[in-house]
Homo-oligomer: A and B are copies of this chain.
């Protein structure tokens, strides 16, 4: 598992089955880990400021403020008031989506499957005790969702690149309520046509351990000098959005996948 989180016990943990949503409170500085247990599983993710739920994570402000369309390590996620809500501090996959809406009842009617479990209702149910209803579920970040953007703007949903135990870790920059659903979509390749479980864990903040970049090996390259504290290595070229073989196989390789706590 993550070096950052090793030897730490989560203060809060949720197991999420496909079609379920879970709300979890995360205080400023705490770490939120979202992990796929079997791989190829999308986590729809929304978040609200804890003491004022009119403020929420905004994908459009996040795209604009980062001038980028792809959530990636080091990126700050912003609210609809353009305030920092999270930082992406770890990411073992490197391919996520912040363009797609949650799947919802109308989507499944269109696919000939009325009444199908869906992320929108799952998130709304998980947020009900905070007074947040269906209409107020914002556009999500879809962790592990693999959407190719083709040259004329066409979007194409592909199997996630996430493998068993892959995860992201977010550091909360405000006190928030996060909502996570395990996408139950089994009619298109969103979840590799086989939705599986997720876990969500909250850890107390901890100072980052001394970074290995302080003592790079003699052969270290410039790229190695920016290696994050968790033992990961980036493939030489980050993912492109094009429909190329390279883009479809890209993922961040982990040196040691270890066992999840």
Q: Are B63 and A60 in contact (CB under 8 A)?
A: no
Q: Are B104 and A153 in contact (CB under 8 A)?
A: no
> CB within 8 A of A101: which of B61, B72, B240?
B61
What are the residues of chain B within 8 A of A153 when measuring CB–CB?
68-70, 72, 241
Interface-lining segment among A14-22, A75-83, A214-222: A75-83
Given that A67-B156, A69-B149, A154-B68 are known contacts, is A54 also in contact with B135, CB under 8 Å in the complex? yes
Q: Are B135 and A55 in contact (CB under 8 A)?
A: yes
Q: Are B154 and A59 in contact (CB under 8 A)?
A: no
What are the residues of chain B within 8 A of A101 when measuring CB–CB?
58, 60-61, 63-65, 80, 82
Please tell me if A24 contacts chain B, counting CB pairs below 8 Å.
Answer: no
Q: Are A139 and B69 in contact (CB under 8 A)?
A: no
What are the residues of chain B within 8 A of A260 when measuring CB–CB?
none
Smallest Cβ distance from A180 to chain B, in angstroms? 17
Please tell me if A238 contacts chain B, counting CB pairs below 8 Å.
Answer: yes
Smallest Cβ distance from A83 to chain B, in angstroms? 7
Given that A82-B104, A106-B81, A106-B82 are known contacts, is A67 also in contact with B99, CB under 8 Å in the complex? no
Q: Are A139 and B81 in contact (CB under 8 A)?
A: no
Smallest Cβ distance from A243 to chain B, in angstroms? 12
Chain A: interface secondary structure?
A: loop
Smallest Cβ distance from A123 to chain B, in angstroms? 13
What are the residues of chain B within 8 A of A241 when measuring CB–CB?
149, 151-153
Q: Are A106 and B135 in contact (CB under 8 A)?
A: no
Q: Mark A229-245, 1 if CB is under 8 A from B, else 0.
A: 00000000011111000
Q: Which A residues contact B (CB, under 8 angstroms)?
A: 54-55, 58-61, 63-65, 67-70, 72, 80-83, 99-101, 104, 106-107, 135-136, 139-140, 149, 151-156, 238-242
Task: Supply 23 A–B pairs (Cβ within 8 Å), ascending by A.
Answer: A54-B136, A59-B139, A60-B99, A60-B100, A60-B101, A61-B101, A63-B99, A63-B101, A64-B99, A64-B107, A64-B155, A67-B154, A67-B156, A68-B152, A69-B155, A82-B101, A82-B107, A139-B139, A149-B241, A151-B240, A152-B238, A152-B239, A152-B240
